[in-house]
Amino acid sequence: MAIELKSSAFSEGGSIPDKYSCNGPNVSPPLKWNTIPQDTKSIAIIVDDPDAPRGDWVHWVVYHLPPSLRDLPERIPKDKILGNGGRQGTNDFGKIGYDGPCPPSGTHRYYFRIYALDAEVLTEPGATKAQLLKAMDGHILAEGQLMGRYSHK
C-alpha cells in the first residue's frame, strides 16, 4: 500500500516556496496524506536532500505521530514533544525540528517521506534519521513521498 503525501504549498516535483527555506521564515510546510493501513500504530516523517555536497542532508525527523492523524499544519513548533504526542528528532543542522532547504548552489531535490508503522518504535525525542530508520526496520506497513525542488538564491 502506498500513502499519497501532498502539500498545499507545492506539488510533486514543484518548487518549494521561500517561506519554507532559509531564505524565508523557515517554517515547515503543511502536509496531508490519505488513508493508512488499519494496523498502523504510529507515523513517521523524514525530510532530506540527497543532492547536498556531503551526501544526504536531513532537514526534519518527526515520529511517534498518532495513527489517527491525516495532516500536519504549517509551522510545526520546534518542540521536542508536539501537542499531538509526536516526537521531533535532530536534523543535520544539529537542531530539533524542521529546518528547510538552504542549498549552497544549484537546484536540490527535497524528499518528504512518510511511513506508517506497526509499532511505536521510539518514545524519546531527539533521534537522528539513522536511529529512526534502524528502529523502523521490520515495522513499515506502508510509505509514500513528496518531492519538491529548491534553488540557491
E strands in the chain: 5-6, 31-33, 42-49, 57-65, 71-72, 87-88, 107-117, 140-151
What CATH number does the domain containing 25 carry? 3.90.280.10
CA dihedral of residues 119, 73, 37, 84 (deg, nearest 10): 40
Q: Give the total number of structural domains in the chain.
A: 1
How is the chain split among helix, strand and coil, in percent rounded to 5?
Answer: 5, 35, 60
pLDDT along the chain (153 residues), means of 10: 96 98 97 96 98 94 97 97 97 98 95 98 94 97 98 83
Host domain of residue 78: 5-151
Supply the pLDDT for residue 96. Answer: 98
